Amino acid sequence: MRPDTVPALVLAVHGSAAPGAAFTLERLCDRVEELGGVRPALGHLDHQAPSLAEVLRDGAVVVPLLLGDGYHRTVDIPTVVHRHAGHCLLTDGLSGDHAVALALRDRLQQAERRAGVRADAVVLAAAGSSRPGGNGGARVAVRQLRQLLRGVPVCGAYCSSAGPTVPEAVARLRGAGYRNVAVAAHLLAPGRFATALAEAGADAVADPIADHPEIARLVLRRYESALHRPGGPVVRLGAAA
């Protein structure tokens, strides 16, 4: 199939002023293109250009690159997409998918190796949302990561809008007798939340996960599933199928 016949893939991202965020998302786009042969366009909700509205094209598939179902995922993005004059397909976000837990586990193990420790307890640090249901993806990730780590306790904590905070969760585990506490960053890209995790008092802090191969594959699954909806264009991505 010719590239000009493949529907555009748009990643709706929060946006960040942190320089590392742009590099991380660029690596994600590279991985998606390598695996599926389609280059995503980034549409930002805040901080950066271009905006989501500016990159929408007729027939585009919009994948919310968000780990939670807070205000951005449930209100902001649908509003922008529905205002677009052309027909666009909006997929689910990344919340609660097992691929997220696999990426978290890998990043956590990398952090343990860097720090020279083996965690006997883990705090999953999510951005946090005050919206009903907004933290559901983080709670699912806690359960899934706990299963993957096979016996290592995992508790959830939040960088804003919900509790406990990450430092509080780390301190509670220390108080319970755990010696090596690690933080798994339930975050996509570097920014103020990821930076603050270094001050949480943990022995190892994992990197965000947007540029992990599992996230690229998840984006492509969201994209391809949208193309196979009733009434949607049917496009087979050779590498992503």
Tell me the CATH number at 138.
3.40.50.1400
Q: What does the pLDDT read at residue 46?
A: 77
Q: Are residues 196 and 133 in the same domain?
A: yes
115 and 59 within one domain: no
238 neighbors 37 (Cβ within 8 angstroms): yes
Give the count of domains, the chain: 2
Q: Are residues 80 and 157 in the same domain?
A: no
**Inter-CA distances, 85 with 53, 55, 56, 141, 189, Å:** 11, 13, 10, 36, 31
Per-residue pLDDT of the chain (241 residues; tens, 9 = 90+): 344 578 999 999 987 878 789 999 999 999 999 999 999 999 998 767 899 999 999 999 999 999 988 888 888 899 999 988 678 999 999 999 999 999 999 999 999 999 999 999 999 999 988 888 889 999 999 999 999 999 999 999 999 988 899 999 999 999 999 999 999 999 999 999 999 999 999 999 999 999 999 999 999 999 999 998 765 544 444 333 3
List Cβ neighbours of 241 (8 Å cut-off, separation of 6 or more). 224
In the chain, DSSP finds a helix count (H) and a strand count (E) of 9, 8
CB 158 within 8 A of CB 166: yes
One domain for residues 64 and 123: no
Please give the sequence-ordered ranges of beta strands (E in DSSP) within 41-191, or none if there are none. Answer: 41-44, 61-64, 89-90, 121-126, 154-158, 181-186
Q: Are both 89 and 103 inside the same structural domain?
A: no
Is residue 94 helix, strand or coil? coil
The answer to whether residue 236 sits within a structural domain is no
* Residues 29 and 116 both lie in one domain: no
Domain range enclosing 131 = 98-205
